[in-house]
Amino acid sequence: MNSTDQIAVRLDAAATSRTAVPQFAAETGLDVPTAYRVQEAVVAHRTGRGERLVGVKLGLTSRAKMAQMGVDEVIWGRLTDAMRLPDGGTLSLADHIHPKAEPEVAFLVEGGAIAAVAPALEVIDSRYVDFRFTLPEVIADNTSASGYVVGAWQPVPDGIDNLGVLLEVDGRTVQVGSTAAILGDPRRALPEAVRLAGASGVDLTDGAVLLAGAATAAVPLRAGAHVRATVEKLGTVSLRVAP
């Protein structure tokens, strides 16, 4: 396995067959610029099957996530329409490898600016065995992107830079954080995404969704679980895992 396309085929097959693959960066010497080219090729497999690019996600924008994953650089990935799940919708474990959920803040982009904000949940599902990867590996894997749920869009409230974030599973609080954990202020996600994605020729066009990154660590999804994220002033968003 040596070319960008071969790695992309392998990661796409892992996703579609719900079978984790071993890490490979040590073997291939994959670097970050090449990893973003692999990501583009991985997502091209999805768009080739009819999915549409609808936005961008940032990852590892909080210390909680950097510590959990052992990677300490902000990364970005591509979101497609097929990844979007309805608020209160149901996800099947059979469609995933080892999914986890994390609370996020979503922005709606219009005219190059933030037009609205919503509480969100991201479902990440690394295509690597044991959810372990190096920085280039997670970038190549479209930053573990698998699904996302967006709550009600609303105007950006005062104090967005320091709102409480809660993640509950079956009514029990499992993670607590603050939007301040996201780059110090989640609004920084926009210039950061414009810079990072722009370097690969990807623009945040009108109507694009931007996931700013998780404020807390992610939690594994179990059959039958009811997962709910709450962002102070923004409200809640939820997801069920099929029994």
Give the shortest CB-145-to-ligand OOG separation in angstroms: 7
The 31-70 site mask, x for binding ligand OOG (CB under 6 A), equals --------------------------x-xxx---x---x-
Q: Where does residue 77 rank: exposed (0-12), middle (13-18), buried (19+ CB within 10 A)? A: buried
| Nearest C-alpha neighbor of 8 from the set 126, 142, 132, 133 | 142
Nearest Cα to Cα of residue 150 among 185, 113, 103: 103
Planar angle of CA 41, 146, 113, nearest 5 degrees: 80
d(CA 13, CA 16) in angstroms, rounded, equals 5
Q: Is 158 exposed, middle or buried (0-12, 13-18, 19+ CB in 10 A)?
A: exposed
Least CB distance from residue 243 to ligand OOG, whole Å?
25
Q: Which of 127, 131, 85 is nearest to 104 (CA)?
A: 85
**Element containing residue 16 per DSSP (H, E):** helix 4-17
- Dist CA 58 CA 23 (whole Å): 22
Closer of 140 and 158 to ligand OOG (Cβ): 140
Q: Is 136 in the site for ligand OOG (CB under 6 A)?
A: no
Position 144 contacts ligand OOG (CB under 6 A): yes
Options 213, 227, 230, 234; binder of ligand OOG; rule CB under 6 A: 213
Contact status: 122 vs ligand OOG (CB under 6 A): yes
Q: How far is the CB of 192 from Mg ion (least distance, A)?
A: 14
> What number of chain residues touch ligand OOG (CB under 6 A)?
15
| Contact criterion met (CB below 8 Å) for 182 and 213 | yes
Nearer to ligand OOG, 177 or 213 (CB): 213
Q: Which residues of this protein are in contact with Mg ion, per CB under 5 A?
A: 122, 214
Q: Is 214 in the site for ligand OOG (CB under 6 A)?
A: yes
**Interaction between residue 166 and ligand OOG (CB under 6 A):** no
The option from Mg ion, ligand OOG, none interacting with 187 (CB < 5 to 8 A, set by class) reads none
Binding mask 92-111 for ligand OOG (x = CB under 6 A): ----------x---------
127 in contact with ligand OOG (CB under 6 A): no
Specify the residue, 2 or 56, whose C-beta has the smaller distance to ligand OOG.
56
Q: Is the separation of the CB atoms in 117 and 154 below 8 Å?
A: yes
Taking the CA atoms of the chain, what radius of gyration do you get in angstroms? Answer: 17
Q: Using CB under 6 A as the criterion, which residues of the chain lie in contact with ligand OOG when the complex forms?
A: 57, 59-61, 65, 69, 102, 122, 124, 126, 138, 143-144, 213-214
